[in-house]
A and B are shown apart, each in its own frame.
Chain A
Amino acid sequence: MAAVCGRGLLAPLGGRLWAGPRVPLRSVAATAAPLYDVVVSGGGMVGSAMAAVLGHDIHFRDKKIALLEAGPRKDYDHMPDSYSNRVSSISPGSATLLSSFGAWDHVCSLRLKPFRRMQVWDACSEAMIVFEKDDLDDMGYIVENDVIMSALTKQLDAVADRVEVFYGSRAVGYTWPLSSHRCDTSPWVQIELADGRRLQTKLLIGADGHNSLVRQKAEIKNIEHQYDQSAVVATLHLSEATDNNVAWQRFLPTGPIALLPLSDTASSLVWSTCHEHASELLAMDEESFVDSINSAFWSNINHSDFIDTAGAMFRSAILLLTPAGTAVRQLPPSVAKADPESRVMFPLGMGHATEYVQHRVALIGDAAHRVHPLAGQGVNLGFGDIECLARHLSAAAFNGSDLGSLRHLLKFETERQRHNVSLIAAIDVLKRLYSTRLTPLVLLRTWGLQATNALPFVKEQIMAFASK
């Protein structure tokens, strides 16, 4: 009361200092759209895992999380007997992440194939490199994407009170808040769905793939490049059952061909090659297709005498220095048939967002970076993003911070960019290096590969970096 009188009496004197309410003290449109703490846009492997990790985080117990997925909810209760043609190589680091919220147990109870050895060799020379762990531990796991999605869906269902999944909901528009210190308009991100529903969120995580709408709407520049290659995938059956725990990859001049173990009798094919050849492979009948695969792995047609001699010399030199430096090149198992209907192709490209974060926005997975499948790293980079972002968000939540604040989002960006940029660049360099028949480059990569193969320390570093 005294204050009111004081105000009235002072008005003529202190008018300048007492201008009255500058802006109305109402919350703008906050009652209209439901407000979430985190919205993950994109319900693929990476988006679903992100939502599940946050949902299982103890510091997010009071928070509301939403996951937007454009597709319908799939029933993963019954896995078909035949293998799916889309598989991923899961690194031990990703397996650790998945087990941290209970999804890995589901994967193990469905099906997966661990592999212990990876042999990578050149088509133009004898050079090869073999990766395996000293203790013959599992180097990684080949898991069908559907199996991973089934595990993630189960774990999302387990925290349905905290994570709301919107199936059949495609986001069509995002509205960003005005500059952070203006107090008179809603400070949250507004999301508009295709069916007209609206959501608000304090933090938007874009996990919507390499054509990310979140990234586009946030006007984050993306460095991208379409490779002149497509990948052909198929499910193959081996001629005879074998201890199928090796992943094989051969660099052909047209692109790498990889055979990833699915079981003792089946393997998955990922063959990156030029678009025309890919279309041919799809159009061939099964017998020709199988013959092409076998000859791609076995034929030495691309060898040249010069390179062979140079390679042999280098190998003897290495043998002098490190007697155990070379191993015998093994041949992959031969393929007998291919599953009908399992031959599919898709184009390949490379992409990297210049920024992973902005105020109230973070990009993870393919929305942030897209790589060639030659290193089997695509989804593992995404899982690495999840682990890092979840760690920073959990700490921020435990500190009571505003989840959309750039302070901790920038820490996530710095940490991940440091890791990702070198790996993405290396994969791109390898792709280009191995796409040529030019003798000097073949010589370079032959000697390079042989040298690397002879240095266990370097190989360990590579494996450690790739399995994070």
Chain B
Amino acid sequence: MWGGGGGGAARAFTRALGRWRAAAVPPGVAGGDHAALSIQTGLRGTLQDYCYEIQLKSSSTLPEMKSSMLTVKRLFCTSHSSVDSKEMKKFQHLAHKWWDEEGEYSALHSMNDIRVPFIRDTLLNTSSNYDLGSPLSGVKILDVGCGGGLLSEPLGRLGASVTGIDPLEDNIRTAEQHKSFDPVLAKRIQYKFSSLEEIVEESMETFDVIVASEVVEHVADLEMFIKCCSQVLKPEGSLFITTISKTQLSYVLGIVVAEKIMGIVPEGTHEWEKFVPPEELEHLLELNGFSVKTVNGMLYNPLSGSWSWMESRSVNYALHAVKSGAQGQSSPTDALSEMGSEQRSATAGTAL
């Protein structure tokens, strides 16, 4: 485990590597540890620069690092990680503010008023089971980056079996505690302290729906994130993403107004560089076996504190994509297989 080497050693390692792309944080490390590591700090750049590679052979020269590599599965798990440790640090100190509806996360609370109906109605339209009493019963949903469970709980109340994952342990703890008081939710929702890559091996094609709301603008490697989504999703399964577009308008509204002027989100929450324009997201999805069905623009009104749909996708948008049915249809599956199980990465033969 990286953390085992201690913060000091990690920093020295980073400096020593210099122009190397630094080792990413393997999945499963607690959020708090990353502050001590902050390995990527010197390497800001475009989205591609966020693809870190673990040079396993080279890093094994550091005995401390090697001794902390405790689980074999880590070696096979990923060459990339979608978890960005600096992002996690930002959310660490807000881990207990999730459920204050008037607090730092108030915009996310009110976003439920449009994102839950969006998910619910899309799924109701596609399924033959039109049960208004429990619209999502029988649906298995994965909420990636669930945070304090703000979106998992409404989906659970609508009848779905939700698995919420988050790489920050305090978030999971908050979420667990909040759902523990409601016996119905406690049964329907499972929280796992994990990143997406970690659950891939045990959850191949287990979920009907993946929801990644306000997450992709915080991940380190978007393409790998999408590939992992594809792996855990059943064929014909749905992927829902809400995120912020990368335009001048989104900079003005999303960073300047929202963070600096009106304080709708805490300052530093978002970085414009990491925003994902819808065209790029659609392209990446199509490349990786998804077919994009809907992209709708969203707009936040800070005066009323409410969200609404909008034609233009230049600020926020919500996207619905469906994983294509048959396996091995196109070249992206080669890339997929290297993320897969141990057998797959051993036999596929594609190295990074």
Binding site for B on A (CB under 8 A): 1-3, 5-7, 9-10, 13-14, 17-18, 21-23, 25-28, 30, 35, 58-59, 61-62, 179-181, 183-184, 186-188, 202, 397-402, 405-407
Contact = CB atoms under 8 A, between A and B. Distances in A.
A30 B187 CA distance: 14
Contact of B92 (A17, A61, A406): A17
B143 to A, nearest CB: 13
Contacts of B186: 27
Contacts of A187: 178, 181
B30 A402 contact: no
A9 B32 CA distance: 13
A181 B182 CA distance: 15
Interface in B75-133: 92, 96-101, 103, 109-110, 112-113, 116-117, 120, 132-133
B177 A6 contact: no
B76 to A, nearest CB: 14
B115 to A, nearest CB: 10
Interface string B176-217: 111011111010000001000000000000000000000000
Interface stretch (B3-11, B240-248, B270-278): B3-11
Main secondary structure of the interface of B (DSSP, over half): helix
B166 interface: no
B68 interface: yes
B112 A401 contact: yes
Nearest to A30: B181
A27 B176 CA distance: 10
Interface of B: 1-4, 6-8, 28-30, 32-33, 35-36, 68, 70-71, 74, 92, 96-101, 103, 109-110, 112-113, 116-117, 120, 132-135, 153-159, 173-174, 176-178, 180-184, 186, 193
A26 B180 contact: yes
A5 B6 CA distance: 12
Nearest to A19: B32
A327 B284 CA distance: 77
Q: Which of A21, A28, A62 has the most CB of B within 10 A?
A: A62
Contacts of A58: 132-133
A13 B32 contact: no
Contact of B3 (A9, A186, A400, A407): A9
Contacts of A181: 96-101, 103
Given A30-B181, A35-B182, A399-B113, A13 B7 contact: yes
A25 B180 contact: yes
B116 A5 contact: no
A399 B3 contact: no
Contacts of B8: 13
A17 B153 contact: no
A7 B4 CA distance: 8
Contact of B154 (A26, A62, A183, A399): A399
B109 A10 contact: no
A399 B36 CA distance: 40
A23 B170 CA distance: 11
A13 B4 CA distance: 10
Contact of A3 (B28, B92, B176, B178): B28
Contacts of A3: 1, 28-30, 193
A58 B8 CA distance: 59
B134 A61 contact: yes
Given A26-B180, A187-B181, A399 B101 contact: no
